[in-house]
């Protein structure tokens, strides 16, 4: 039994006991008063009657008439006259039942009517005695009515006391409920402080809980800082701060192979010419500063263009992958112009060569790097600050304006030309946690269903992301209702910018509660940094529906999300670039291990995207990952993604 219920029972018992005691004492006191009044009344009436009888000069007929008249008034249960020698002269009796008081009440509280006795005389001659006993029925009726009035008054007082007690219990219960909720939030991995109540005992309890929450926050912040440090150590080049070769190749592979990756893009390779000779001429320290300057020039683009990634592939080679097509040559020229102005400060003979290629739906990392390396080799033959651009925009690919794209995407949605892909996410036992279900649209009637990378950039520009996400959710709910299997769909960050998107999604899910509990929603990691409040509102709105919300493509910013513990996430999916080549790299394994430990401490499940081989999958299980998905899983299961 809960403490509050025990308090309520104690208060109720106390009030009932006080009520019963007060009513009982009141009734007993009133009965005693009535008995006293009856005794005095009987005595006075007997004296008055004896005086009246004494004036009859001993005439028995007259006295009998007087006694009979007095008895007939109906107030007396018994009137008796006894002669001086003890012989009965007059005796009349009658029983009268109470009109209002119930029988059980009269039996429970009997009232004694003590006879009033007085001497009857004729001058100095004693004629006998007269005794009078009044009815108790009227007294019982009055006692019953008085008891009801007392019970009513005490009941009103009891209700007021109960209301006051309820207010007091509510004041006690509120901080206790806050403490329980705070503890439950801790179990859920959310660290919330509560206001301190006034009662000193409860204040001390809340202070202790808040202190514990503050210390857990500090522990989490320390873990987040450690995760970020391990990420930098595992993924970054120590000199330039750019991604190292392994991580950049993982990023490039993830960008090329993800379902939602843009089909158009560009890759720029840059090489510092004759780095060994530069080291000999200007010294190792100056050469390092020069390389750092090159890295800074490359890093500029990653800050300006979301989705742009830069890396240092080896001592002299740098790379930049761009998320949009048709800009490779423009970007290469801008980098070369910047370095042509900056590098002479380190030495007169320092130069670079640049190879740039356009990407049009290519998915093979080796093929892309091969084309870019060939362009770079061609640029080296020309000389310092030369640029070689390979791969013009495909003329066969139709170029559509924003209005045409809006029309195509809108028509596909209106005509139901949309369907979900299907890729399994498995746990360590090989059981399916959920199906990854990216949305595909048939942009042209009777044409192929195309992945998001083909049309999503245009949908974002046309402000159609919310409609697309709502359609994906509706298709997922239908599929769940059909076969009962959990499914996961993507939610674009742009959709969260709408003030009503989260509320509409909540209403949709509340209307289908059984299916909603098996729905998972992926939100890009960048949203947690750039639109924290919107993502927090989404998790708050959807929590009652049972749907799960998590981050996808995570890893780069994970340790930099300042209030990750306040988001209320259910899971995080580490990006393929964070786990690529994990089996043979303890530095990357250390980052994943630290991230898993931190997130599990928040009661957040951790999954891995883009797992490419069995060795990486096995290492991920050893590191405590909760589930994996990617090409290797699809190959094992024979998933086509259709």
The model's pLDDT over 411-440, given as tens digits with 9 standing for 90+, comes to 999 999 999 999 999 999 999 999 999 999
**Regarding predicted confidence, which is higher, 335 or 556?**
335
pLDDT of 161 reads: 86
Host H or E run for residue 477: helix 465-483
pLDDT, residue 393, reads: 43
Predicted pLDDT of residue 200? 77
Whether the predicted pLDDT of 283 surpasses 70: yes
Q: Does domain 402-637 fall into CATH 3.20.20.450?
A: yes
* 498-536 pLDDT tens trace: 778 999 999 999 999 999 999 999 999 989 888 899 999
Q: Quick check: 170 pLDDT over 70?
A: yes
Among 75-79, 109-113, 194-198, 586-590, the minimum mean pLDDT is found in 194-198
pLDDT band for position 213 (50/70/90)? Answer: confident
Q: Can you list the pairs that 435-440 forms with residues at least 24 positions away whose Cβ atoms lie under 8 Å?
A: 435/485, 435/486, 435/487, 435/488, 436/488, 436/629, 437/472, 437/475, 437/476, 437/479, 437/487, 437/488, 437/489, 438/259, 438/260, 438/489, 438/490, 438/641, 439/468, 439/471, 439/472, 439/475, 439/489, 439/490
User: Which of 444, 447, 448, 468 lies closest to 458, judged by CA?
Assistant: 468
The answer to whether residues 552 and 521 touch, using CB atoms and an 8 Å cutoff, is: no
Query: Is CATH 3.30.450 the classification given to domain 3-160?
Result: yes
Least confidently predicted of 61-70, 169-178, 283-292, 465-474: 169-178
- Of residues 547, 548, 551, the one with CA closest to residue 531: 551
Q: Which burial class, exposed, middle or buried, applies to 595 when counting CB atoms under 10 A from its CB (0-12, 13-18, 19+)? A: buried
Is the Cβ–Cβ distance between 471 and 459 less than 8 Å?
no
pLDDT at 190 over 60: yes
Task: Give 322's DSSP letter.
Answer: E
Q: What is the mean pLDDT of the chain?
A: 87
Question: Which residue do the tokens 């170029």 mark?
Answer: 399
Looking at per-residue pLDDT, the higher value among 236 and 5 belongs to 236
Give pTM, 2 decimals.
0.70
Measured in residues, the chain has a length of 642
Class of domain 238-390: alpha beta
Cβ atoms within 10 Å of 373's Cβ, excluding its own: 17
Distances (CA, A) of 161 to 17, 154, 155, 156, 158: 13, 10, 9, 9, 5
Partners of residue 628 on adjacent β-strands: 426, 608
Mean pLDDT of 310-334: 90
pLDDT in tens, 28-77: 999 899 889 989 988 998 899 888 888 887 788 888 888 888 888 888 88
Please state the domain extents for the chain.
3-160, 238-390, 402-637
Provide the pLDDT for residue 395: 40
| pLDDT over 60 (residue 334) | yes
Residue 561 predicted with pLDDT over 80: no
Pairing state of beta strands 264-272 and 317-322?
antiparallel
Asked if the model's pLDDT at residue 400 lies above 90, the reply is no
Residue 262's pLDDT band (cuts 50, 70, 90): low
């Amino acid at each position: 039994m809960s403490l509050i219920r025990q308090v309520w029972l104690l208060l109720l018992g106390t009030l009932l006991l006080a009520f019963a005691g007060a009513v009982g004492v009141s009734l007993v006191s009133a009965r005693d008063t009535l008995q006293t009044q009856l005794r005095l009344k009987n005595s006075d009436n007997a004296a008055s009657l004896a005086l009246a009888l004494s004036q009859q000069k001993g005439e028995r007929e007259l006295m009998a008439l007087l006694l009979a008249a007095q008895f007939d008034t109906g107030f007396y249960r018994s009137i008796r006259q006894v002669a001086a020698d003890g012989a009965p002269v007059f005796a009349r009796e009658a029983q009268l039942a109470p009109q209002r008081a119930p029988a059980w009440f009269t039996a429970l509280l009997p009232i004694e009517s003590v006879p009033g006795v007085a001497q009857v005389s004729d001058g100095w001659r004693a004629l006998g005695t007269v005794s009078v006993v009044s009815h108790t029925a009227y007294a019982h009726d009055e006692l019953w009515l008085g008891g009801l009035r007392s019970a009513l008054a005490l009941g009103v007082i009891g209700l007021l006391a109960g209301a006051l007690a309820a207010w007091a219990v509510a004041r006690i219960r509120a901080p206790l409920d806050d403490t329980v909720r705070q503890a439950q939030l801790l179990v859920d991995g959310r660290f919330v402080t509560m206001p301190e109540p006034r009662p000193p005992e409860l204040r001390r309890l809340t202070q202790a809980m808040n202190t514990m929450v503050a210390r857990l926050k500090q522990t989490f912040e320390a873990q987040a800082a450690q995760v970020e440090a391990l990420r930098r150590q595992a993924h970054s080049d120590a000199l330039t701060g750019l991604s190292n070769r392994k991580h950049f190749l993982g990023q490039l592979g993830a960008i090329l192979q993800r379902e939602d990756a843009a089909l158009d893009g560009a890759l720029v390779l840059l090489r510092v010419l004759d780095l060994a000779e530069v080291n000999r001429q200007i010294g190792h320290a100056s050469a390092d500063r020069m390389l750092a300057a090159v890295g800074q020039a490359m890093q500029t683009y990653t800050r300006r263009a979301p989705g742009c990634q830069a890396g240092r592939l080896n001592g002299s080679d740098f790379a930049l992958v761009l998320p949009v097509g048709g800009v490779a040559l423009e970007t290469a020229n801008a980098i070369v112009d910047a370095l042509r102005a900056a590098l002479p400060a380190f030495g007169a003979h320092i130069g670079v060569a640049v190879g740039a290629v356009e990407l049009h739906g290519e998915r093979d990392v080796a093929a892309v790097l091969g084309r870019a390396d060939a362009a770079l080799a061609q640029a080296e033959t020309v000389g310092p600050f030369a640029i070689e651009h390979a791969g013009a925009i495909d003329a066969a690919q139709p170029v559509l304006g924003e209005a045409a794209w809006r029309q195509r995407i809108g028509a596909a949605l209106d005509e139901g030309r949309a369907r979900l892909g299907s890729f399994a996410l498995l746990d360590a036992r090989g059981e399916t946690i959920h199906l990854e279900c990216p949305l595909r649209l048939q942009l042209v009637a009777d044409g192929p269903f195309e992945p998001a990378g083909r049309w999503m950039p245009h949908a974002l520009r046309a402000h159609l992301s919310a409609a697309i996400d709502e359609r994906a959710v509706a298709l997922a709910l239908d599929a769940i209702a059909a076969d009962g299997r959990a499914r996961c769909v993507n939610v674009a960050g742009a959709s969260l910018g709408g003030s009503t998107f989260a509320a509409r999604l909540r209403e949709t899910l509340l209307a289908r509660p059984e299916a909603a509990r098996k729905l998972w929603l992926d939100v890009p990691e960048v949203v947690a940094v750039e639109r924290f409040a919107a993502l927090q509102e989404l998790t708050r709105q959807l929590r009652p529906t049972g749907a799960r919300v998590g981050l996808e493509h995570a890893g780069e910013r994970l340790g930099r999300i300042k209030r990750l513990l306040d988001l209320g996430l259910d899971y995080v999916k580490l990006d393929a670039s964070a786990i690529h080549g994990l089996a043979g790299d303890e530095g990357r394994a250390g980052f994943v291990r630290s991230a898993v430990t931190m997130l599990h401490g928040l009661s957040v499940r951790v999954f891995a995207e883009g797992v490419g081989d069995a060795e990486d999958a096995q290492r991920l299980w050893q590191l405590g990952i909760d589930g994996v998905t990617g090409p290797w899983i699809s190959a094992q299961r024979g998933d086509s993604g259709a």
